[in-house]
Amino acid sequence: MSREEPCGAIVRAEGLVKTYRPEGAAPVPAVRGVDLTVQRGEFVAVTGPSGAGKSTLLHLLGGLDRPDSGSIWLDGRQVDTCSEARWAVLRRKHIGIVFQFFNLVSNLTVADNVELPALLAGSSPRQARAARAELLAELGLEGKENSTPSELSGGEQQRVALARALVNAPSLLLADEPAGSLDSKGTREVLRLLSRFHQRGQTILLVTHDARVASAADRVISFFDGRIADDAPLGADRDRRTSGVADVLRLKG
């Protein structure tokens, strides 16, 4: 039976463990026991060197991968026990995800890419169109509605991916290296937009190996070797936060 989590947390994870077991190779422990709570409205960055287990953690929290052990609550409901079908519904309605390589549907227009998840979540065509129009305007993509992804720059494609992730007003936005394939202008743009949505109350968990990208968040979790090495709560604790990131960068070197 599911346990209820009566607090203001959007996400809570307890004792998460994930080991990959590739055939014919040694097991790879990727997440080695993580406890994490993200409160409503927080913008949290998980940073650390490549291979630290950051993407695995994000995949576990988004139900894209299953933990070997541990529990996850989303909006107070235990979700680690959910079926694949239930996770798909959760992702459609409550969790938006942006990836490094955008993952847009290449043969659909920008408008259709953004409207599709709204329609799948049960919006009427009119509601989906209205939500799409508002988001594309907000993201500076007016006039691009009928383009296909390949006609856009990387930065524009990531903005479309952001619109798609936000169209159902998810409780949680997960971003996996959202600036990882962008130039510095695209990176600044995506960070500016994430900050803007955060200021309006969007809860964001972002995973990045780039300490500069992480510094857009108001809480930085340093991840190393599958574990949380440092977790600096808020802006007031900025010194500690900076030193945590510096530690990880030193470890990386």
List of residues contacting ligand ADP (CB under 6 A): 20, 22, 28, 30, 48, 50-56
CA dihedral over 132, 138, 139, 144, signed as positive or negative = positive
Residue (50 or 107) nearer to ligand ADP, CB: 50
End-to-end CA distance of the chain: 46
Question: 239: which 2 tokens?
Answer: 């010194």
CA dist., res. 7 & res. 65, Å (int): 25
Q: How far is the CB of 26 from ligand ADP (least distance, A)?
A: 10
Residue (22 or 253) nearer to ligand ADP, CB: 22
Q: How far is the CB of 225 from ligand ADP (least distance, A)?
A: 9
Residue (55 or 187) nearer to ligand ADP, CB: 55
| Residue 34 bridge partners (DSSP) | 16
DSSP 4: B
Q: Is residue 39 within a helix (H) or strand (E), and if so which, with residue range?
A: strand 28-39
Nearest 5°: phi and psi at 66?
-105, 135
Cβ atoms of 218 and 43 closer than 8 Å: yes
Q: How far is the CB of 70 from ligand ADP (least distance, A)?
A: 15
Q: How far is the CB of 28 from ligand ADP (least distance, A)?
A: 4
Q: How far is the CB of 242 from ligand ADP (least distance, A)?
A: 20
Residue (64 or 116) nearer to ligand ADP, CB: 64
Residue (52 or 98) nearer to ligand ADP, CB: 52
Q: 3-state DSSP: the chain helix, strand, coil percent, rounded to 5?
A: 40, 25, 35
